Amino acid sequence: MKARPIIFDTDPGIDDAAAIVIAIKDPDLDVKLLSTVGANVEVEKTCMNALRLAEFMDVDIPVAKGCGEPLMRKLRPCPEVHGVTGMDGYDFPPVTRKPLDKHAVVAMRDIIMSSEEKITLVVIGTHTNVAIMLKMYPEVKEKIEEIVTMGGALAGGNTNSTAEFNIYNDPHAADIVFKSGIPITMLGLNVTNYALIYRKEAEAIKARGGKAGEMICSLLEHYRSGSLDAGVRVHDAVAVAYMVRPDLFKTEMMPVEIALDGPAAGTTVSDFRAMESGEKKPNVKVVTEVDQEGYTQWFVDEFCRGEE
């Protein structure tokens, strides 16, 4: 089966790193670009981290530097979760590669428009780059297969009591993307908080996952979204799992709107009653359940692929 062409729009970020390494190793995916955005840490650092990952994995995947600030709000990075570098915990060799000499928005647009096949956008940071691309180059919409995004939640946030980090940081961009008419699949905290990786899996990956496995386990030791002993939330890897193992998940079409102002700005709101009454039409495929056991086994298998 031909590999599915994808572009990551990403803010590495330790869980982003796991998602990107798995996607590079998985034969069912063909990573065309790492487009970077400022979110977990500043875009200078997320771009450097994307270059580190491409060089570490020794793959010819271009990296482009994107937006450093959200459309309207002030960025609130979270070095307390990923470390000051955005990928604390592993001593990467010096980076020799450079990013493309064009903005990530232009790089994404160029790859999408020149591709024979439709491209899937895997958005695992804020939606700033994608929103600007849709406004500047609306012609890309016809060439995008789907937007698979880790973001939002059906109930409860991680940045405040209602908003998830990626949407919280740029709700206006998410609003543009969610209203674009492009097929969207949303993996929110309602599912990524329950797809946990424990020390048992990390030990297996360290023992059998080669260099990449050793690297990701070192990063996960420093990652502060849960812990290996209590279960670590590798949010962005769940978006990759959904693409290659949809059998591990349940989904439901729902109306999802983004709150844009007030204390709940950045919250993804799904109005179930308005959907039942027909007042609001579903616009997003929401991932509602994950097979936790199947996911953890998949996570280990992916890192051990080709290493034994």
- Residue 49 engages ligand RIB in binding (rule: CB under 6 A): no
Assess contact for 182 and 137: CB atoms under 8 A: no
- Residue 249 engages ligand RIB in binding (rule: CB under 6 A): no
- Residue 16 engages ligand RIB in binding (rule: CB under 6 A): yes
Assess contact for 196 and 18: CB atoms under 8 A: no
DSSP state of 305: T
Query: In the range 107-146, which residues lie near ligand RIB by CB under 6 A?
Result: 124-125
Amino acid type, 67: C
- Residues 48 and 50: their CA atoms lie apart, in Å, by 5
User: Tokens 């056991």 map to which residue?
Assistant: 293
User: Tokens 């994608």 map to which residue?
Assistant: 130
- Residue 46 engages ligand RIB in binding (rule: CB under 6 A): no
Pairing verdict, β 284-290 and 184-187: parallel
- Residues 251 and 289: their CA atoms lie apart, in Å, by 7
For residues 124 and 286, which CB has a smaller minimum distance to ligand RIB in the complex?
A: 124
Please give the size of the binding site for ligand RIB, defined by CB under 6 A.
Answer: 15
- Residue 15 engages ligand RIB in binding (rule: CB under 6 A): yes
Give the residue numbers marked as catalytic.
Answer: 235
For residues 191 and 304, which CB has a smaller minimum distance to Ca ion in the complex?
A: 191
DSSP string across 17-39? HHHHHHHHH-TTEEEEEEEE-SS
Q: Choose the contact partner of 158 out of ligand RIB, Ca ion, none; CB within 5 to 8 A by kind.
A: ligand RIB
- Residue 302 engages ligand RIB in binding (rule: CB under 6 A): no
Q: What residues make contact with Ca ion under the rule CB under 5 A?
A: 11, 13, 16, 124-125, 236
List 6, 7, 13, 258, residue binding ligand RIB (CB under 6 A): 13
For residues 147 and 304, which CB has a smaller minimum distance to Ca ion in the complex?
A: 147
CB of 28 to Ca ion, least distance (A): 21
Closest CA to 213 of 122, 114, 90: 90
User: Tokens 């097929």 map to which residue?
Assistant: 183
The residue ranges that bind ligand RIB (CB under 6 A) are: 11, 13, 15-16, 39-40, 124-125, 150, 158, 164-166, 235-236
